[in-house]
């Protein structure tokens, strides 16, 4: 099937995302409008310490008006390799660093309206590093067993999709 873009207008340009409105031709020849959030690629990392605990970060997410428990994550800088970004974000947000990253997958978290791509990783063999928050970041670092984290998903205490995916993925990996 073909979906040709015949017109594209940027409706909003922000600091780290933009919104465009595309007019497309549908397979039946009719036209339709689609709004697309344009945002750069990002990484998300599930850190696992030597005792098998997962390290998560709690931070305020304004879009949902809540403090959410999540894996460390962040946007790739211009020309940055996803693995390098993952290592950088891991240390900046948790104070841990690693050279033992395991690539899990590349995914689209919300492809219905956003073109963002996420590169997901497991991080083991953690070493002490140094936290370095962004000026507007206030992060709490928390450790849980994988069992505790999975229970928190079931109880609705962990709601972030990338975090849920990485936690379930790690649980499956440990069973195999």
Measured CA to CA, the distance from residue 21 to residue 24 in angstroms comes to: 10
List residues with catalytic annotation: 135
Helix (H, G, I), strand (E, B) or coil at 60: strand
**166 SS3 class:** helix
Q: Which residues are CB-neighbours of 96 under 8 A, at least 6 positions away? A: 47, 49, 55, 90, 123, 126, 127, 128, 129
Dist. CA 85–CA 40, nearest whole Å: 12
**Residue 111 CA from chain centroid, whole number:** 14
Phi, psi of 136 (to 5 degrees): -105, 20
């Amino acid at each position: 099937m073909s979906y040709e873009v015949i017109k594209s207008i940027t409706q909003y340009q922000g600091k780290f995302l933009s919104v465009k409105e595309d007019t497309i031709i549908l397979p039946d020849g009719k036209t339709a409008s689609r709004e697309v959030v344009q945002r750069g690629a990002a990484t998300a990392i599930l850190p696992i310490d030597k005792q098998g605990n997962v390290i998560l970060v709690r931070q305020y997410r304004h879009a949902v008006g809540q403090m959410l428990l999540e894996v460390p994550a962040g946007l790739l800088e211009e020309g940055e390799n996803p693995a390098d970004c993952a290592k950088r974000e891991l240390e900046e947000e948790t104070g841990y660093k690693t050279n033992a990253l395991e690539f899990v997958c590349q995914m689209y978290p919300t492809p219905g309206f956003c073109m963002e791509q996420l590169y997901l990783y497991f991080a083991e063999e953690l070493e002490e590093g140094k936290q370095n928050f962004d000026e507007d970041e206030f992060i709490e670092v928390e450790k849980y067993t994988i069992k505790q984290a999975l229970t928190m998903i079931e109880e609705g205490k962990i709601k972030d999709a990338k975090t849920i995916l990485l936690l379930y993925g790690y649980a499956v990996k440990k069973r195999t």
